[in-house]
């Protein structure tokens, strides 16, 4: 993967996190159709296909998945990424 592709994936995953954070700020607990479409579009921009349907899933579980994808992209373990983010 080229440096440009890597950066575009990072940006798309960062945008997913922003979208999820906005949904949580509005009290959304589960992914609805609109949120699912926005996330799926960003994941596709990152070159990642959602393995299963996003709609109906808990927002916090999708957030965990996005963190895991970011960690994978950075070559880290998901827990290591979370600890670094929390500090």
Q: What's the domain range around 79?
A: 3-86
* Number of compact structural domains in the chain: 1
Q: Quickly list H helices, the chain.
A: 3-25, 33-45, 59-74, 78-86
What is the tens place of the pLDDT at every residue in 23-82? Answer: 999 999 999 999 999 999 998 888 887 767 889 999 999 999 899 988 888 887 655 444
Query: Half-sphere exposure of residue 30, counting CA atoms within 13 Å on the CB side?
Result: 6
pLDDT at 5 over 80: yes
CA dihedral 7, 10, 11, 12 (to 10 degrees): 120
CA dihedral 68, 59, 20, 6 (to 10 degrees): 20
Radius of gyration of the chain (CA): 13
Q: What was the pLDDT predicted at 35?
A: 95
């Amino acid at each position: 993967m080229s440096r440009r592709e890597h950066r575009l994936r990072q940006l798309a995953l960062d945008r997913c996190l922003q979208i999820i954070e906005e949904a949580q700020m509005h009290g959304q607990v589960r992914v609805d159709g609109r949120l699912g479409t926005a996330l799926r579009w960003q994941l596709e921009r990152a070159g990642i296909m959602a393995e299963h349907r996003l709609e109906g899933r808990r927002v916090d579980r999708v957030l965990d998945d996005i963190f895991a994808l970011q960690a994978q992209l950075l070559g880290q373990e998901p827990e290591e990424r979370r600890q670094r983010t929390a500090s």
